[in-house]
Amino acid sequence: MLLGDITFQTPSKPIVALDTSLYSLSTEEAAFFKAQTGIDDDEDLKKHILEVAPYPCIHNFIFLRLNLSRISVYEHILKLGRERSDALLLDIGCCFGIDARKAAADGFPAKNIIASDIFNVMNFFKTTPVTYPGCFLPGDVFDPSFLSITAPSDDVSPPQAIDLSSLKSLNPLHGRISAINAISFFHLFNEEKQLYVAKALAGLLSAQPGSVICGYQVGSPEKGMANTSIAGSMHQLFAHSPKTWTSLWDGEVFEKGSVKVETELVEVAIREVQFFMMKWSVVRL
């Protein structure tokens, strides 16, 4: 069984039944989902969430965590939204767009937020363009007609305004995006494709100092294949180390010394399987 470039080690084993004991919301998360869905009752909210949980990649309810708000550059991203009139935020591989919604709820202008994934599953919140004016743009990052690779921009002048609702691809946004969120995204791909995506996203990033790409993904103390768990099934995926991830961005994707890269490796456990996750950010200098 394949999910991106993730290979399940037990291909004949079906995804296990949904384990509702893994469902939990912190006080902050419960308040956020109630506000965003309009569902105030705890049991009704749980029922609504369980209806979408059987997707294998979110079977462990990880999608309920407000991960972007727990990365150190989050306040910086919100500041960009407040202080740059042209600031755009891209939530790539957005799934339900929860991080995009959280940023909007915390003050980043929703009309300047683009959420993108290969499939449209954005009806989780049951909103309309009136209640949430953020833009959803479906597409495949490996399709050059949707996102082509260009060299990182060196034009620091403010870009002209663009009508996000008219977009058919991300290509018109080259050199225009102030912040890119790529949580739980890169680890879906092998080493070669991770480099490809990094170069593609770098071409979207504004050259203005402070523009940032960040994420949270499976990592490893040493670069190589890592064993993790999805819905009770063991699988392998490629994981960078903090050292190799830093050198990829600072020197291979961007000119060395032109960005500041920060990483943090955290040990986590899901269904008693321990592995490492890596928080990271790349800020243009």
Catalogue the long-range contacts made by 56-62 (C-beta closer than 8 Å, 24 or more residues apart). Answer: 56/3, 56/15, 56/230, 56/231, 57/3, 57/95, 57/230, 58/95, 59/15, 59/18, 59/230, 59/231, 59/232, 60/22, 60/229, 60/230, 60/231, 60/270, 60/271, 61/22, 61/23, 61/24, 62/184, 62/270
Kindly give the confidence (pLDDT) of every residue in the chain, 285 residues in length, as a single tens digit, with 9 standing for 90 and above: 344 564 444 444 444 556 677 778 888 888 888 888 888 999 988 888 777 655 555 656 666 677 888 899 999 999 999 999 899 999 999 888 889 999 999 999 999 999 999 877 656 777 788 888 899 999 999 999 999 999 999 999 888 888 998 999 999 999 999 999 999 899 989 999 999 999 999 999 999 999 999 999 999 999 998 877 655 566 788 999 999 999 999 999 999 999 999 999 999 876 677 889 999 999 999
Q: How far apart are CA 149 and CA 10, in angstroms?
A: 35
Pull the structure tokens for residue 196.
Answer: 């490809």
Read off the pTM. 0.85
| Neighbouring residues of 212: CB distance < 8 A, sequence distance ≥ 6 | 73, 76, 77, 80, 178, 179, 180, 205, 281, 282, 283, 284
Strands 113-116 and 89-92 come out as parallel
pLDDT of residue 230: 57
Cβ(111)–Cβ(164) below 8 Å = yes
Cβ(219)–Cβ(265) below 8 Å = yes
Cβ(63)–Cβ(95) below 8 Å = yes
Pull the structure tokens for residue 242.
Answer: 């903090």
| Neighbouring residues of 115: CB distance < 8 A, sequence distance ≥ 6 | 90, 91, 94, 97, 100, 122, 134, 135, 136, 137
Catalogue the long-range contacts made by 25-32 (C-beta closer than 8 Å, 24 or more residues apart). Answer: 25/64, 28/66, 29/64, 29/65, 29/66, 32/66, 32/101, 32/102, 32/105
Cβ(186)–Cβ(194) below 8 Å = yes
